[in-house]
Structure 1
Amino acid sequence: MESYIRLGLAIVIFMMIVIILYRFNAGKSDRRQSSLEIMKERYEKGEITEEEYEKARRKQGK
């Protein structure tokens, strides 16, 4: 009986760790910009030409 309790606790702790890590990583990806968004910003600022922006957009497949 005691081994079932330990197994149950181990499973619960493992699931909690997985959920915490998933949420931590999901938060990171939301804050990062895609390379295409960065290129769009650079185009709007005049740092790159329209041709360079379109080339990057085609490369991304969007």
Structure 2
Amino acid sequence: MTESFVRVILTFIVLIAIIVILVRFRASKPGRRSRDSLDILKEKMEKGEISKDDYEEAKRKRGK
């Protein structure tokens, strides 16, 4: 009886650990979003690192 009880408890602990890991992995940090490649190119265009034509070409290639 105690062996099966220990097995159930260990299974429960492992499941809880997996759930906690998945939740932390998938949770996005507040105020932080993933940056799209076009967002990065737009920032570069605004800083003058690339031309507007380069940005428009990249945008066209992406189909947006």
TM over 0.5: yes
Q: Percent identity?
A: 50
Q: How many residues align?
A: 61
- Correspondence for 2:56: 54
Give the CA RMSD over aligned residues: 2.9
Q: Which has the higher contact order (CA 8 A, sep 6+)?
A: 1
Give the equivalent residue in structure 1 for 2:45. 43
Give the residue type in structure 1 aligned to 2:36.
S
Between structures 1 and 2, the one with greater helix share = 1
- Where does structure 1 differ by over 4 angstroms across 4 or more consecutive aligned residues? none
**TM-score, with structure 1 as normaliser:** 0.57
**1:48 alignment partner, SS class:** coil
> How big is the shift at 1:31?
3.4
2:17 aligned with 1:21? no
**Which sections of structure 1, spanning at least 5 residues, go unmatched?**
none
State TM-score, norm by structure 2.
0.56
Distance 1:11 1:60, change over 3 A: farther
Q: Which has the larger radius of gyration?
A: 2
Cα separation, 1, equivalents of 2:19 and 2:13:
10
